[in-house]
Amino acid sequence: MSTSTAHSHDTHALPPRPKELAMHFDTLHNQYQAGKLGMWLFLGQEVLFFAALFTAYAVYRGNHTEMFHVGQYFLDWRLGATNTIVLLFSSMTAAWSVRCAQLEQRRGLVLTIAITWLCALTFMVVKYFEYTHKIHVGSVWGDSFHIHNMADLPRGVVDWLYKHNPGLAQMQGEEQLAAVNDMLGKNGLGLGSFFAVYFCMTGLHGIHVLVGMGVYAWLFVRALKGHFNRRYYGAVDNVALYWHIVDLIWIFLFPLLYLIG
Amino acid sequence: MAGGVVEKPEGAYGGSTRNYLNETRGIKNWIITLDHKRIAMMYLVAVTLALLLGGFFAVALRTVLWDGAVRDPNDLILGMRVEQMYNKYFTLHGAVMVFMFIIPGIPASLGNFILPMQLGTKDLALPRINLMSLYLYWIGATLFVGVLAFGGLDTGWTLYPPYSLDRQTSIPLILALSAVFILGFSSILTGLNFIVTMHRLRPPGMGMYDMPLFLWALYATSLIQVLATPVIGLTLALAMVEHMFHIGIFLPQYGGDPVLFQHFFWFYSHPAVYIMILPAMGVQSELIATFSRKHVFGYKAIGWSSIAIAAIGFIVWGHHMFVAGQSPAAGLIFSFLTFFVAIPSAIKVFNWVATMYRGSIELKTPMLYGLAFMYLFGIGGLTGLFLASIANNVHLHDTYFVIAHFHMVMVGSTLNAFFGGVHYWWPKMTGRMYNETLAKIACGLVFLGFNLAFMPQFVAGTRGMPRRYANYADEFTTFHQISTVGAYVLGAGVLLQVIYLTYSWFKGPRAPKNPWGAASLEWQADSPPDFHNFTKPVIVMAAYDYENWEYDPNTGGYELRKEVVESGRSLATAHH
Ligand SMILES: [Cu+2]
């Protein structure tokens, strides 16, 4: 497997430059370190990017505690927990893929990359069902928030409604629905803003997962072609770093949105 | 001929040897280049075009203001009411200047070219990222041209909701928001690349404290670019979603909070002011030291004050919102913190002055810009303190005093340093000398025009002239008319520069390797540099050891002393 014979005719005293080494670096190690520092800075940028959203979350939660208390009932913690487990598992396979690249285990590398990609896909499928359900119910962002059917409301929300307006029990059909939307919508609790925060945070995170799927697909092809070796695996390492931050952000999103009421 | 390397004998290009400009030919070889020097030159052309576009709007709005006291509000120009035109002019002037000229200006053009060369290396650490940043800039700029084509905006460059998000035509608004979003990522990538390069590609023997101060300044700038820009990116993305879907984040009628937008906006846009000024301060350190022919005074103080400015810059954004419904406690804290910015800024100015003290000062054009910088930055910086104190601010906010203050800093200082830097490195970048007399005339025009344009605005502002109004009371007429004359003079100075610099690029006399006797490593390269920057091994030496260079009347420039070339090390190392 060694490539040293290919250069045996070389008359230079210097060792041959590996083909992966860019002209402005002197060693593969330095090139690897540069790429890695670049990725860490990019992750710093990512943290600040999401920080603005987390700030928005804190501001709205601070100003409208009850809105978040009621809004949380609309989210299904079981789906959130499933996705958390899926992502945590994928973080493990992502880290594993780096190890495989370092040890030049080509089959292991291809396999772990594929599993990571499939986990990301699973996450997006669960997200798809969550989103479509919310759109179906009408529990969506801002001005578009409008519940279509009393039967779609989660238990906790119904309890809250009756507690705050016992008169609801005497109403029926359209009249009751109008009263409910009045209590939950922008004239009342303003749940539209809760769902704006929910969709923006999970949506932006979802976009990051999709980007992750894109880069893992690219890594998969490169791994199949055998591009990586023990001195040249920066791409696998950096993508895994990116994937960890995507997971990490979800680790914060899950309790903030699904668990604390 | 587009394609591979063109082998030409020496002298094929009018007597010059092969260099990065003629290494390969054809537009394609420029567009897909990974060479930092070519990318820098494309950036330089692009930001200059942005400067001219933004300048056009500036002159246009000053023209509207000439007779603002007596104009009939129903006057029409090109079928539009004058006030409406005016609102679009000041919006586009601000947006083009801030996002397309001042922010990328010095780092992406001069920094891109000079940073790897001051490290004696071949390129930035991540050349593909560098090219991507240029492409993003082009995409952002193109979208901005789209904003103009679809009728422009009249929100002011700050894009405050609710007015920006529910009272504008969708197409130009969305184009503008996405343009700034994309330009932001261009800026992030530049900063990221610079930091990595400074950490990984310093030559052996050059520690952080041996780097030229221009690089310290770029390092501090890059930190802000990487850490502050994403916040405005997200803010603009949210604004776009708010405009399209009414999600209730920033628009009060849907449950949103417009003041939250202001917080987010200034969390970026205040540090962005230091993205604009820090690189300028870096250029300034090089100019003052070189043309005083003296080791820069207080090296560490200047270097660390750049970092301090970047750090403090993150915690003062609330001073833009003293009258926007912020709590008095927050107002007090932000006011208090804002004063701290003055300390590192003053440290720099004092050190530059101390550098000049007993130096042998040479009043070449770059140095003239350096002096103008110090004078204007002094005024701009001190008037910032007036605005930082809350009681004054209540009176002065949203008046011409604010306009004059930030133009002193952003234009007076940054634009002057940009011009100074362009003239300083022009011989290196193009291999040609510009006409010194014309350059001095242009510098004089810029200085005169600038002072005429903005000094009267301080007075008008204290007397209550509000910003962003097309009409005004009679008493302000004189101030406005002086200011308009100043804008024309400044414009003439800039145009003159563009003309003689462009001319010199093609017809100017050949530049020597080191026309100024500067000591940082880029001057060891040929003018213009080889495709790989250096043709001989670089002799790593401290950036301000001028004794290593001596004047050579044969070339009209400076050459490394024989002892230095033979020993391969700086004379100063022997003294240490
Ligand atoms: Cu500020």
Structural domain contains residue A84: yes
Give phi and psi for B247, each to the nearest 5. Answer: -80, -10
Instruction: List the single best residue of B128, B200, B257, B260 to mutate versus A (max A Cβ within 10 A).
Output: B200
Interface of B with A in 531-550 (CB under 8 A): 532
B258 inside 8 A of chain A by CB: no
**B513 confidence band (pLDDT: 50, 70, 90):** very high
Per-residue pLDDT in tens (0 to 9) along chain A, 261 residues: 333 333 434 444 567 788 888 888 988 999 999 999 999 999 999 999 999 999 999 999 998 899 999 999 999 999 999 999 999 999 999 999 999 999 999 999 999 999 999 999 999 999 999 999 999 999 999 888 999 988 889 999 999 999 998 888 888 888 899 999 999 988 888 899 999 999 999 999 999 999 999 999 999 999 999 999 998 999 999 999 999 999 999 999 999 999 987
Joined together, the tokens standing for residue A2 give 């060694």
Tens of pLDDT, residues B539-566: 988 889 898 999 999 888 999 999 888 8
Q: What's the pLDDT score for residue B572?
A: 67
Of A137, A167, A184, the residue that ends a domain is A184
A131 and A215 fall within a common domain: yes
Residue B432, SS3 per DSSP? strand
Rg value, chain B, Cα = 24
d(CA B162, CA B166): 6
> Do A228 and A99 touch, CB atoms closer than 8 A?
no
Structural domain contains residue A97: yes
State in Å: Cα B317 to ligand 1 middle: 5
Structural domain contains residue A207: yes
Expressed as residue numbers, the domain containing A233 is 29-146+188-258
The string of DSSP codes covering B203-230 is PTT--GGGS-HHHHHHHHHHHHHHHHHH
Across B520-525, average pLDDT: 94
Across B178-182, average pLDDT: 96
In order of start, what are the domains of chain B with their CATH numbers? 1-29+513-576 (no CATH), 33-511 (1.20.210.10)
Inform me whether the pLDDT recorded for B6 exceeds 50: no
**B570 confidence band (pLDDT: 50, 70, 90):** confident
Across B423-438, average pLDDT: 96
Structural domain contains residue A118: yes
State the CATH number of the domain containing residue A224: 1.20.120.80
State in Å: Cα B158 to ligand 1 middle: 12
d(CA B326, CA B319): 10
Structural domain contains residue A3: no
A172 and A252 fall within a common domain: no
Amino acid at A27: T
Q: What's the pLDDT score for residue A142?
A: 87
d(CA B145, CA B172): 10
Interface of A with B in 34-53 (CB under 8 A): 34-35, 37-38, 41-42, 44-46, 48-53
d(CA A97, CA B120): 37
Burial call B433-464: b when 16+ CB within 10 Å, e when fewer: bbbeebbebbbebbbebbbbbbbbbbbbbbee
A221 and A124 fall within a common domain: yes
Beta bridge partners of B81: B76
Residue bearing the bigger pLDDT, A109 or B152: A109
The string of DSSP codes covering B215-276 is HHHHHHHHHHHHHHHHHHHHHHHHHHHHHHH--SSS-GGGT--HHHHHHHHHHHHHHHHHHH
Structural domain contains residue A135: yes
A166 and A130 fall within a common domain: no
C-alpha dist (Å) from residue A179 to A23, A136, A251: 70, 20, 36
Which residues are within 8 A (CB) of A141 and not within 5 positions of it... i.e. 6 or more apart? A192, A195, A196, A199, B245, B246, B247, B248
A89 and A207 fall within a common domain: yes
A35 and A65 fall within a common domain: yes
A172 and A206 fall within a common domain: no
Interface of A with B in 213-252 (CB under 8 A): none
Inform me whether the pLDDT recorded for B4 exceeds 50: no
Q: What's the pLDDT score for residue A14?
A: 63
Of A22, A23, A141, nearest to B247 by CB-CB distance is A141
Structural domain contains residue A19: no
Tens of pLDDT, residues B185-239: 999 999 999 999 999 999 988 999 999 999 999 999 999 999 999 999 999 999 9
A50 and A163 fall within a common domain: no
A161 and A129 fall within a common domain: no
| A-B contacts at Cβ under 8 angstroms | 121
A59 and A141 fall within a common domain: yes
Joined together, the tokens standing for residue B328 give 């008095």
Of A33, A35, A45, nearest to B188 by CB-CB distance is A45
A45 and A171 fall within a common domain: no
Q: What's the pLDDT score for residue B403?
A: 96
Amino acid at B353: V
Across B31-53, average pLDDT: 95
Inform me whether the pLDDT recorded for B477 exceeds 60: yes
A104 and A204 fall within a common domain: yes
B256 inside 8 A of chain A by CB: yes
A24 inside 8 A of chain B by CB: yes
Structural domain contains residue A2: no
Q: How many domains does chain A divide into?
A: 2
Of A38, A51, A192, nearest to B255 by CB-CB distance is A192
B123 inside 8 A of chain A by CB: yes
